[in-house]
Amino acid sequence: ILHSKTALIDGVWATVGSTNLDWRSFLHNHELNAVVLGTEFGSQVQAMFDKDLAASDQITLDRWERRSLGMRVREVFARTWEYWL
């Protein structure tokens, strides 16, 4: 699922949706999450997490501190749009 927010607790309680856990999402955005109880769906969500983790790159503090000047400038620019994003 593209850019979904997902959580899994104890392999049984799962939530999948678009809602961020912040006040903007709660008060202004029209978003929705589905909550699913059950180990079968929980196993599927865990498999998705494991697949994503295997395909990800770890960012250490050292790597973060060595990011390029261009990346830092983009971060500053993006921060100006934070409220609307």
Instruction: Tell me the whole-structure pTM to 2 decimals.
Output: 0.70
SS3 3: coil
pLDDT averaged over every residue in the chain: 91
Domain ranges in the chain are 5-79
Residue, of 46 and 17, whose pLDDT is higher = 46
Give pLDDT tens digits for 24-46: 877 888 888 899 999 999 999 99
Alpha helices, DSSP H only, in 20-84? 23-27, 39-54, 61-65, 69-79
Cβ contact 12:46 at 8 Å: no
